Amino acid sequence: MRHLVSALFLVLVAAPALATTVDFTTGAWDGANGMIAIPPIATTTFAVPDIEGSGVDVEATATVGFSLITNTVNGPPPAPPTTPATANGMGIISFIDTDRTEISDNEILTITFSQPVTITSILVSKLFTIASGKDTVDEEARWSFDGGPTQMFVANTVDPEGRHFLTFTGGANISAIDFFTQGGDHDYSLVSIGFVPEPTMLALLGTAGLFAAGTRKRERERGRS
């Protein structure tokens, strides 16, 4: 019995968590369109629960004096897009930069996870190079995991939508990501984030199962004596 319980414990702890993608161009995020923060309220937030059945809720927060979150095309937010192909991704309109639904000057888009995750990928769009003919600089995307050091990616391909797929080998035990720019003519949209839930809950289930089995065994032994 002891070996069986130990094996069960190992299976529970070692069971791989499923890779999950939160896609900000899907209809699940359409409710974010038009949400606005007016001082003294400094932020506006929209959340989607249980992404792809992962048990992880994901929340998007726009931080700027006046702002709304949008996942529609550039310009004032029209009706929600009907297909991902018409959407840039998640961005912000503010009174600082009213003509774009991207993350730009003095704007911060924070993505928060309801439990720690390992980040596996980030997909951005509208991050253009000079060579694309759509910008005067090679644009930069900047982000920070849990308020840590700033990380940066410089546009380096001529994609018609300025899409760049970034993969990560680290990025473990992350609860939030801040997306921002260095100012100037640098702006972009957030399309998706790939993540794997941390196995904390599995470990807790394994520990609880082992404890319960041990308790039952002791009770049976006391009953025989």
pLDDT in tens, 47-86: 899 999 999 999 988 876 444 455 444 333 334 333 333 4
Give the count of alpha carbons within 13 A of 185, CB side only: 8
With tokens 């089995």, the residue in question is 213
Q: Specify the range with the lowest mean pLDDT, choosing from 53-67, 134-148, 210-224.
A: 210-224
Over range 168-172, report the average pLDDT. Answer: 81
CA distance linking residue 160 with residue 98, whole number of Å? 23
CA distance linking residue 51 with residue 173, whole number of Å? 17
Which pLDDT value is given to residue 21?
A: 93
Whether the per-residue pLDDT at 96 is higher than 50: the answer is yes
pTM for the whole thing?
0.75
Cα angle, residue 29 at apex, residues 23 and 35 outer, rounded to 5°:
140
- In sequence order, the β-bridge partners of residue 144 are 150, 178
Instruction: Report the length, in residues, of the chain.
Output: 225
The domain ranges of the chain are 1-17+200-225, 21-198
